[in-house]
Chain A
Amino acid sequence: MAVERLLKDEATEEKGDRARMASFIGAMAIADLVKTTLGPKGMDKILQSTGRGHNVTVTNDGATILKSLHIDNPAAKVLVDISKVQDDEVGDGTTSVVVLAGELLREAEKLTMAKIHPMTIIAGYRMAAECSRNALLQKAMDNKQDPEKFKSDLMKIAMTTLSSKILSQDKEYFAQLAVDAVMRLKGSTNLEAIQIIKKAGGSLKDSFLDEGFILDKKIGIGQPKRIENAKILVANTAMDTDKVKIYGARVRVDSMARVAQIEGAEKEKMKEKVQKIIGHGINCFVNRQLIYNYPEELFADAGILAIEHADFDGIERLALVTGGEIASTFDNPESVKLGHCKLIEEIMIGEDKLIHFSGVEMGQACTIVLRGASSHMLDEAERSLHDALCVLSQTVNDSRVLLGGGWPEMVMAKEVDELARRTPGKRSHAIEAFSRALQSIPTIIADNAGLDSAELISQLRAEHHKETTNSGIDVISGGVGDMEKLGISESFKVKQAVLLSATEAAEMILRVDEIITCAPRKREDRM
């Protein structure tokens, strides 16, 4: 008698080898998708959204690409997830982590074909990952003590990160920009203090770092355009009709005259509020919410610069930068902390007027103004810069540095190979496979640059067999070069995160021997 249907209609079940196959293929497809973006000569992808307007994004950032994909394969979703986490945690290496996980699975597939149990493979991978991590730990350099050298390390890392992005043309310039911005943070990883403003027009080279704070707002009409020694009150309060908050209140009148009276009272109330604000002895008032015409007029009369409708981030940042507090009540002017800055003025970037606060108290914050030919370009530039900033801020905390250009992978591969030789049993196959997967990263970098990868990798391996070597792939000259001289560095933290999360993800997918997909939830037909 046939087994009755166990699961609901449309639900599917894949078992054993078929399940494994499905997840391998899904994961490898994702890895192959982003593979071509790896390395300095990696290519970009165009993403077109299905939403209204079919917005187009051009990017080379792994996390951005994967985030925008609609994926059905559950194993592929695991990879997308690790890439997202990598982005949140360290900001860079989003492509590498997916590619490495994909390569690990590709090797694992070969091993399962040779009838090695997935659990054995996992055991081997774990040993190999531990061994590679130790290898990295040994080789990592720490220049924290020497500020000069540390700064040059940061510079190198920034340049290496940027070289695979759209900003590679001016990488030196932007690397300097990013390093300066991060150094101002003085060790905090709070990237909110770095504001990035994008303005179309001009060329990438026209981008600049501003030490003050720029607010993308206009100054009200009839108000001063330039204030020296500004006292700023940052507020979050309703400056429109200020409705009564007591529940159920409503105005009920029986004649037109009464309406006028109430209106008068309302106006009076607003005027009082404005008076109180002015009473703080300020000459600049920034509000998160709208400022209506009437209060604006009052402010203008008092010679106060009023800026309305700054977004919440802007307000927080402004409060942070100027050292004031965000106020919502104005009854005790003596105890409200006001913000200060030396100069507020309106500046023009391209065609837009912006408000520039310079000479602020807290030197931590700064603004990077990006200029570029098109909005796509600017978006991509912002993402690249974000990556660089993330990596730098993480490096400031964990100052260990590695060389780049496939050097760490080769170092790890060598150690792992050695481990494989020492390990008895079937696990050694898995360990060897791990080393092959590691080596595939420089291979892909070389392939993407149109170089003869087979030749290069074998040269590199021979080079790495010597005791100490700094060789990696020099994509520019197309040969094996000394990474230290070329100034190609990577952050230890990023590499470690790539290694660990890729192994973890591969392990997770390998352990699966059955995929059960539930019937998709029925959606109401909206048409």
Chain B
Amino acid sequence: MALAFDEYGRPFIILKEQEQKSRLRGLDAQKANISAGRAVARILRTSLGPKGMDKMLQSPDGDVVITNDGATILEQMDVDNQIAKLMVELSRSQDYEIGDGTTGVVVMAGALLEQAEKLLERGIHPIRVAEGYEVASRIAVDHLERIARKFDFSEANIEPLVQTCMTTLSSKIVNRCKRALAEIAVKAVLAVADLERKDVNLDLIKVEGKVGGKLEDTELIYGIVVDKDMSHPQMPKRIEDAKIAILTCPFEPPKPKTKHKVDIDTVEKFQTLREQEQKYFDDMVQQCKDVGATLVICQWGFDDEANHLLMHRNLPAVRWVGGVELELIAIATGGRIVPRFQELTPEKLGRAGLVREKSFGTTKDRMLYIEQCANSKAVTIFIRGGNKMMIEETKRSLHDALCVARNLIRNNSIVYGGGSAEISCSIAVEAAADRYPGVEQYAIRSFADALDSIPLALAENSGLQPIDTLAAVKSQQVKENNPYCGIDCNDVGTTDMQEQNVFETLIGKQQQILLATQVVKMILKIDDVIAPSEY
């Protein structure tokens, strides 16, 4: 207890207001933490794999999100427990790093915790467990490296990339048209990829959605789509060979930041001021016109008069374009963002082959398409779908697919999916365990068991007998010395993942194992939880 006594037997207080804090120590703390972590993993377990189910989440404001993306589920879940929050972080970091496998990493961590609990009950010290896990994770990662395959693709041959993206998409609700979406994702990534440096800047891919139509209408646009329309209803809706001035200054009289006053005390002053004002607008429009712009895109608003002048001089304009979109437009059209009218020069204008406005449905929905840009390094994926939730979910799924394609361009090693990599690692770790003297051996063996949990969950979600199936596949791997046997989730009839074309990226898998191990190690090292109790 936190209450101690001095040599005279008087109590003194170590923790302030300790009666108001709840405190857990030692094994109790570890067990509580483990059970919290496992509870989170249990929620996600059913979402794993192509036959995984979705979760419906209602936010504090009553909005509904339906998803099967692990990171999104955990983010929306409003978790209170500290350890559970760690798991949320874990999934998020996988999302940031890799973008895919957010569910798998949490399930993996949950399984590791479950095994750790058993070890703790047998009296093994948590630090020894943590060390054993560390060793085992290194073995697994090395083993993954060995069973990984390089695969070749080029801009002409995108089939392997498409196949990988399809594996990612097959677990989502959009699997109805996974082929089309996978192709879109791959083409989008290739369009912005820098194949020399093996790098992809995903910021250049804009994912925009609009409710209506059907999923099959989703398209890839080599250009930018902005959810805005022309500032004046009578401006032309279609501009060819547009020269675009990209402005971040409003078409309004200047507002100096220093405090000032303009005093009007005579009629003359009043009149000059008025003339000045009119001249302002005239100058602004003239400056745009002088440099040869045929389209003005502005981050700010327009004054009515300026708007009319623009329209009058036949200079179409778009207002209130967001900062991110503005940047994308600048990149795509090769223009420069100009903060002041005075700095407009012909070189700073962006170029686009076609700018057009397109309207949708029966309501007043219009979008602006900027296509055939000078620099086609920015693309937009435009998603259509039956309802808002569907579009949101499609956006998330496509994000995963994009990340996968990017990872493959960075590093073209793949491992086979369907749990085959995990099973193979499990066998390798199991075999290596016996060579370690000391208590760690037990932890390493448990690690191997934990690796089995992913194929188990896959089999379970697919409606197969989990233990039977796993045992069969495992023995097949050992017997045939073929590390590509996995769970046949789609009932195709073969367990060979090479034939089924189910791939995952090597770095994604490695990252999953490493991250999960790290978090578990951290949780195991906690032996005291002090929380201020609620009033």
The interface of chain A, by Cβ under 8 A from chain B, is 1, 3-9, 11, 13, 19, 23, 72, 74-75, 77-78, 81-82, 85, 87-91, 117-119, 126, 189-192, 236-237, 244-254, 258, 261-262, 264-266, 269, 316, 319-320, 325-329, 331-332, 335-336, 390, 393-394, 500-501, 504-505, 507-508, 511-521
Determine the distance from Cα of A393 to Cα of B312 in the docked complex, in whole angstroms. 32
Are the C-beta atoms of A316 and B386 separated by less than 8 Å?
no
Q: Could you pull out 26 A-B pairs where Cβ atoms are within 8 angstroms?
A: A1-B28, A5-B80, A6-B80, A7-B78, A85-B211, A88-B212, A88-B363, A89-B362, A189-B362, A246-B273, A249-B261, A249-B264, A249-B273, A250-B264, A252-B265, A258-B266, A320-B233, A326-B308, A328-B304, A329-B278, A329-B281, A508-B390, A513-B46, A515-B58, A516-B77, A518-B59
Determine the distance from Cα of A504 to Cα of B212 in the docked complex, in whole angstroms. 12
Check: B305 CB closer than 8 A to any chain A CB. Answer: yes
For B308, the closest partner residue in chain A by CB is A328
Are the C-beta atoms of B56 and A512 separated by less than 8 Å?
yes
Are the C-beta atoms of A244 and B62 separated by less than 8 Å?
no
Are the C-beta atoms of B66 and A512 separated by less than 8 Å?
yes
Determine the distance from Cα of A9 to Cα of B176 in the docked complex, in whole angstroms. 38
CB contact under 8 A between A244 and B78, given known A1-B32, A518-B59: no
Given A6-B39, A508-B54: 16 more A-B contacts, CB < 8 Å: A3-B35, A6-B36, A8-B80, A74-B56, A75-B56, A77-B62, A81-B388, A88-B361, A189-B361, A190-B359, A247-B253, A265-B270, A329-B281, A504-B215, A511-B68, A518-B76
Are the C-beta atoms of A8 and B78 separated by less than 8 Å?
yes
Check: B480 CB closer than 8 A to any chain A CB. Answer: no
Check: B142 CB closer than 8 A to any chain A CB. Answer: no
Check: B263 CB closer than 8 A to any chain A CB. Answer: yes
Within 8 A of A (CB), among B506-529: none
Check: B494 CB closer than 8 A to any chain A CB. Answer: no
Check: B328 CB closer than 8 A to any chain A CB. Answer: no
Least distance between A398 CB and chain B CB atoms (Å): 12
For B31, the closest partner residue in chain A by CB is A1
Are the C-beta atoms of A244 and B79 separated by less than 8 Å?
no
Within 8 A of A (CB), among B228-278: 232-234, 252-256, 259-267, 270-271, 273-274, 276-278
Are the C-beta atoms of B261 and A248 separated by less than 8 Å?
yes
Within 8 A of A (CB), among B61-88: 61-62, 64, 66, 68, 73, 76-81, 84
Interfacial chain A residues near B54, Cβ < 8 Å: 508, 511-513
Q: Number of contacts between A and B (CB, 8 Å)?
A: 240
For B232, the closest partner residue in chain A by CB is A326
Determine the distance from Cα of A393 to Cα of B363 in the docked complex, in whole angstroms. 12
Determine the distance from Cα of A247 to Cα of B234 in the docked complex, in whole angstroms. 29
Are the C-beta atoms of A514 and B55 separated by less than 8 Å?
yes
Least distance between A460 CB and chain B CB atoms (Å): 29
CB contact under 8 A between A252 and B263, given known A6-B81, A328-B305, A511-B53: yes
One digit per residue, 1 when the CB lies within 8 angstroms of any chain A CB and 0 when it does not, for chain B 206-229 equals 000001111100000000000000
The interface of chain B, by Cβ under 8 A from chain A, is 28, 31-32, 35-36, 39-40, 43, 46, 51, 53-62, 64, 66, 68, 73, 76-81, 84, 173, 176, 211-215, 232-234, 252-256, 259-267, 270-271, 273-274, 276-278, 280-281, 303-305, 307-309, 311-312, 359, 361-365, 385-390, 463
Least distance between B59 CB and chain A CB atoms (Å): 6
Which 9 A-B pairs rank lowest in CB-CB distance, beginning with the nearest?
A328-B308, A513-B53, A521-B60, A501-B386, A511-B54, A249-B262, A504-B386, A518-B78, A517-B58
Are the C-beta atoms of A85 and B386 separated by less than 8 Å?
yes
Determine the distance from Cα of A82 to Cα of B212 in the docked complex, in whole angstroms. 9
Interfacial chain B residues near A117, Cβ < 8 Å: 51, 463
Are the C-beta atoms of A394 and B362 separated by less than 8 Å?
yes
Are the C-beta atoms of B387 and A78 separated by less than 8 Å?
yes
Least distance between B447 CB and chain A CB atoms (Å): 24
Determine the distance from Cα of A11 to Cα of B77 in the docked complex, in whole angstroms. 9
Least distance between A428 CB and chain B CB atoms (Å): 15
Determine the distance from Cα of A325 to Cα of B66 in the docked complex, in whole angstroms. 47
CB contact under 8 A between A518 and B254, given known A262-B267, A394-B362, A504-B390: no
Determine the distance from Cα of A91 to Cα of B362 in the docked complex, in whole angstroms. 7
Determine the distance from Cα of A466 to Cα of B305 in the docked complex, in whole angstroms. 69
Least distance between B221 CB and chain A CB atoms (Å): 20
Interfacial chain B residues near A326, Cβ < 8 Å: 232-234, 308, 311
Least distance between B517 CB and chain A CB atoms (Å): 22
Partner of B304, one of A75, A237, A248: A237
Least distance between A254 CB and chain B CB atoms (Å): 7
Determine the distance from Cα of A85 to Cα of B365 in the docked complex, in whole angstroms. 12
Least distance between A265 CB and chain B CB atoms (Å): 4
For A8, the closest partner residue in chain B by CB is B80
Are the C-beta atoms of B212 and A237 separated by less than 8 Å?
no
Are the C-beta atoms of A89 and B361 separated by less than 8 Å?
yes
Are the C-beta atoms of A244 and B389 separated by less than 8 Å?
no
Are the C-beta atoms of A325 and B173 separated by less than 8 Å?
no
For B364, the closest partner residue in chain A by CB is A192
Are the C-beta atoms of B308 and A329 separated by less than 8 Å?
yes
Interface centre among B176, B259, B385 (most CB of A within 10 A): B176
Are the C-beta atoms of A515 and B56 separated by less than 8 Å?
yes
Interfacial chain A residues near B176, Cβ < 8 Å: 126
Interfacial chain B residues near A246, Cβ < 8 Å: 253, 262, 273, 276-277, 280
Interfacial chain A residues near B32, Cβ < 8 Å: 1, 4
Are the C-beta atoms of A247 and B256 separated by less than 8 Å?
yes
Determine the distance from Cα of A330 to Cα of B213 in the docked complex, in whole angstroms. 44
Are the C-beta atoms of A265 and B271 separated by less than 8 Å?
yes
CB contact under 8 A between A514 and B46, given known A189-B359, A325-B311: yes
Interfacial chain B residues near A7, Cβ < 8 Å: 77-80
Interfacial chain A residues near B173, Cβ < 8 Å: 507-508, 511
Partner of B212, one of A85, A118, A119: A85
Are the C-beta atoms of B61 and A521 separated by less than 8 Å?
yes
Partner of B264, one of A9, A190, A251, A519: A251
Determine the distance from Cα of A247 to Cα of B256 in the docked complex, in whole angstroms. 8
Interface centre among A6, A91, A500, A507 (most CB of B within 10 A): A6
Are the C-beta atoms of B40 and A6 separated by less than 8 Å?
yes
Determine the distance from Cα of A508 to Cα of B68 in the docked complex, in whole angstroms. 11
Determine the distance from Cα of A262 to Cα of B264 in the docked complex, in whole angstroms. 9
Least distance between A193 CB and chain B CB atoms (Å): 12
Least distance between B360 CB and chain A CB atoms (Å): 8
For A19, the closest partner residue in chain B by CB is B56
CB contact under 8 A between A516 and B55, given known A326-B234, A508-B389, A511-B66: yes
Partner of A512, one of B55, B76, B262, B309: B55
Determine the distance from Cα of A170 to Cα of B283 in the docked complex, in whole angstroms. 59
Least distance between A79 CB and chain B CB atoms (Å): 9
Partner of A325, one of B62, B64, B234, B265: B234
CB contact under 8 A between A261 and B267, given known A5-B80, A74-B64, A250-B261: yes
Least distance between B318 CB and chain A CB atoms (Å): 17
Partner of B312, one of A6, A261, A335, A517: A335
Are the C-beta atoms of B64 and A78 separated by less than 8 Å?
yes
Are the C-beta atoms of B78 and A247 separated by less than 8 Å?
no
Least distance between B159 CB and chain A CB atoms (Å): 25
Are the C-beta atoms of A516 and B57 separated by less than 8 Å?
yes
Determine the distance from Cα of A115 to Cα of B35 in the docked complex, in whole angstroms. 31
Least distance between A259 CB and chain B CB atoms (Å): 10
Determine the distance from Cα of A320 to Cα of B235 in the docked complex, in whole angstroms. 12
Determine the distance from Cα of A335 to Cα of B252 in the docked complex, in whole angstroms. 23
Interfacial chain B residues near A504, Cβ < 8 Å: 214-215, 385-387, 390
CB contact under 8 A between A264 and B267, given known A88-B363, A244-B274: yes
Determine the distance from Cα of A140 to Cα of B136 in the docked complex, in whole angstroms. 63
Determine the distance from Cα of A250 to Cα of B260 in the docked complex, in whole angstroms. 10
Least distance between B74 CB and chain A CB atoms (Å): 10
Determine the distance from Cα of A394 to Cα of B363 in the docked complex, in whole angstroms. 12
Interfacial chain B residues near A328, Cβ < 8 Å: 304-305, 307-309
